[in-house]
Structure 1
């Protein structure tokens, strides 16, 4: 399922990944390059399987592990209210 950030979440890409600002709470989140790839894939309309495939290819990791990591990241972003 494609992902969207909440309206009050600002993003900025850096040389180290992506920084998210939750404007409601003032909390910052820093995404490493792997998480940035996952988020970019989902924001561009891909699903979790697409994101896992991109991670497995880009970072030479096992596809099953990549799928678990993608699912965990998406759960965390959604449960925190940063994304839907």
Structure 2
């Protein structure tokens, strides 16, 4: 499955992650560096599984929680119609 931001969403890199802006509503999401890693992976053609694998390499002690966290992030972005 491929992922993309909605046409009305802009992403801006920051020192600590990424900020997404929904230009229709003015709502924005400030994503920390870890969430930004997931977003970049998905937008670069990766899968949820590859994003999980990347995070497991960075945070081996949190391996059990990573799948749920990545899934929750993807679900939240889709529910907000920010990403498809």
Q: Under a length normalisation based on structure 1, what TM-score does the superposition of the two structures give?
A: 0.93
**1:1-84 maps to which residues of 2 (within 5 A)?**
1-84=1-84
Superposition RMSD on alpha carbons, in Å? 1.1
> Quick one: distance in 2 between partners of 1:60 and 1:40?
20
- Listed as ranges, the gaps of 5+ residues in structure 2 are none
Answer with 10-19 or 57-66: which moved more: 57-66
SS of alignment partner, residue 62 of structure 1: helix
- Listed as ranges, the gaps of 5+ residues in structure 1 are none
TM superposition shift of 1:2: 2.5
Runs of 4+ in 1 over 6 A off after TM superposition: none
Q: Under a length normalisation based on structure 2, what TM-score does the superposition of the two structures give?
A: 0.93
Please say if residues 41 and 51 of structure 1, whose CA atoms lie closer than 8 Å, have aligned partners that are also in contact.
yes
